[in-house]
Structure 1
Amino acid sequence: MRTRALKPAPPAWQALIDEWAMSLEAENKSSRTIRGYCDSVRFFHIWLADPVAPPEADDPEAWLASVPPEPAEPEDYEPNHVKRWIAYRIATTSPGNANNNYRALSAWFHWLVAEEEIEHHPMARMKPPHIPDQPIPITPVEFIKQVLRNCQGRDFHSRRDEAIIRLIWDTGGRLSEIANIDLERDLDLSRRVVNVLGKGGKWRALPFSAATGKALGRYLRVRARHPYADATTRLWLSDHRRSTPLSPNGIKIMLRRRGNEADARGVLGRNLHAHLGRHFQSHTFLKSGGSEGDLMLLNGWTTAQMARRYGASAAAERAHEAARKIRVGDAL
């Protein structure tokens, strides 16, 4: 498959961004983090070279006049360079994307200060954009059951796909964590636990249910008969024509295909993807009485922010169920 060439930042800036990428790699940042950070700074400089006003700007000319001239050197950075670009990103993408861009730029400027390319951090007095609370999308149980029913064949792909889907929706593991499981090192079927390498290079153990263990056992039997079973110790194999393991993108494509078979667009309003399994696991764990502290450990969170968000989601559903049982309207 051909990949689209990424537009670089202006040459002087791109060279500095590439040097920063090497520094991030030396800090053992994940490839995804490095790519996200560097892309944000690259987009920032592409926009500064030819700024565009948000579509809904009342006076585009006045808005653009508030953008400082494109910096020629690192010391030319001004806070308004960042403020205007973040405002543009909020207007044209989402507060969440803008927040990610903000944090990437902050890390970029920290590095420039450490490298003595600039004396002061231009964002020192800025605050990240507020991200409004959004309802957490929870996959309906019946929909996932239908997806699993569609995987009930005895062939390799059916057994593999069912095991992957059950493991994600059971444990809440991230896509990259699930994709990179090593059969010999990470999976303990007898204890029903799998070890995964998460963000920041931290290992954690994910317990799974008997139903998931059964699906994994069935998959391991058909895996042993795969022509390339001995070519890799990675748990998930590609089809019979390939000796390479199934990649995170391969799992993403599989989930989309399995979701389409069950009308994901009609039921969910979106494609089926791995993070919906993380939403489902977190919501169901707390709704069933699990603690936010335990959920933090299971999901590899270092702060309670996400656990509290899922806690609110589970509490809201319990309140809805209580309201249905009490049936206030029936007394009228």
Structure 2
Amino acid sequence: MARVLADYERHLSSERDLSSHTVRAYRGDLLSLLEHASRLGMHGVDELDLRTLRSWLAKQQTMGKSRTTLARRATAARVFTAWLARTGRIASDPGAALGSPKRHKSLPPVLRADEAAELIRAATDLADDGSPVGLRDVAMLELLYATGIRVGELVGLDVDDIDGERRVVRVLGKGRKERSAPYGTPASRALDRWLRLGRPALVAEGAGPALFLGARGRRIDPRAVRELVHRRVAQVPGAPDIGPHGLRHTAATHLLEGGADLRSVQELLGHASLATTQLYTHVTTDRLRQAYRQAHPRA
């Protein structure tokens, strides 16, 4: 089982070109499944059957795992057993008949438009002293909110990925899929100031072409970006505690509320499935329903 799991990890990283974070998540889920099968007395993946898969998910449920986690692990199991069958390691695919619990479509926390504006304004005020770190912070916040890109995509950007004339950034997303994301005039101004005044003052040997740099002058770490967003959002009165992914939710929600169509938002965010983007239609519908209940006399 350990050898098969190692082969599968190589398949995910080399053939499917998934990120190391995604590979680790898959490995953790499947290690749990194979340990469960081993406790049931199984010695090889060819002994996996539908009953084992279901009992593994049931065990996760008794441990208090959320529906979202259970759905993710069911997907991991199905993709794994499909690969086992496709590569001849098992005769038939037991995961094909494995169902998934429906995820709760919860309302992700997002900023209101005025809160998002206050977030950027406060960061801009702090950067008025012209400090390189301050200019960088404004540029990152503007770009995250303008494009809805993931934090991993942000820190992976190089200087040449910015097309200042067309106001478009080239993004390398999940599965190494490339897409273009437009940004507006405020983000363009912030990026221009960072590239002219901030980055040259901060860059150090070993930075390479990295667009955003950490305090030591090299490519910034995702953790530093998360800490920055949480810290800045905490300074906005009444705003929910969100990180970079919350800004991604915010950008998508504001686009849809402003009249953007679902397909355009899907392309902007780099979602492989429209079903993922459709979460935001639930967000906007829930907001409309809340406003209706508060405002209509016969709600």
Scaled by the length of structure 1, the TM-score of the pair is 0.79
Alignment of 1:1-332 (within 5 A): 13-27=1-15, 28-49=17-38, 69-91=40-62, 92-151=64-123, 152-153=126-127, 154-184=130-160, 186-220=161-195, 221-228=197-204, 231-239=207-215, 242-262=216-236, 267-268=239-240, 270=241, 272-318=242-288, 320-321=290-291, 327-328=296-297
Amino acid at match of 2:23: I
Give the direction of change, closer, same or farther, for the CA distance of 1:291–1:70 in structure 2 (3 Å limit).
Answer: same
Moved over 6 A (4+): none
Cα deviation for residue 258 of structure 1 reads 2.8
Give the direction of change, closer, same or farther, for the CA distance of 1:255–1:46 in structure 2 (3 Å limit).
Answer: farther
Cα deviation for residue 93 of structure 1 reads 2.1
In structure 2, list runs of 5 or more residues that go unmatched: none
Q: Is the 8 A contact 2:152 2:222 kept in 1?
A: yes
Give the direction of change, closer, same or farther, for the CA distance of 1:70–1:278 in structure 2 (3 Å limit).
Answer: farther
For 2:85 and 2:163, the matched residues in 1 are separated by 46
For 1:76 and 1:322, the matched residues in 2 are separated by 55
Amino acid at match of 2:219: P
Cα deviation for residue 294 of structure 1 reads 1.4
State the secondary structure of the residue aligned to 1:134.
coil
In terms of Rg, which structure is larger? Answer: 1
Scaled by the length of structure 2, the TM-score of the pair is 0.87
For 2:33 and 2:287, the matched residues in 1 are separated by 41
Pairwise CA RMSD of aligned residues?
2.5
Percent of residue pairs identical:
22
Amino acid at match of 1:72: H
For 2:228 and 2:182, the matched residues in 1 are separated by 24
Q: Is the 8 A contact 1:255 1:273 kept in 2?
A: yes
For 2:203 and 2:258, the matched residues in 1 are separated by 42
Q: Is the 8 A contact 1:183 1:233 kept in 2?
A: yes
- How many residue pairs get aligned? The number is 292
**Match of 1:5?**
none
Cα deviation for residue 49 of structure 1 reads 4.9
Q: Is the 8 A contact 1:252 1:273 kept in 2?
A: yes
State the secondary structure of the residue aligned to 2:278.
helix
In structure 1, list runs of 5 or more residues that go unmatched: 1-12, 51-68
Cα deviation for residue 229 of structure 1 reads 7.3
For 2:36 and 2:29, the matched residues in 1 are separated by 11
For 2:218 and 2:79, the matched residues in 1 are separated by 35
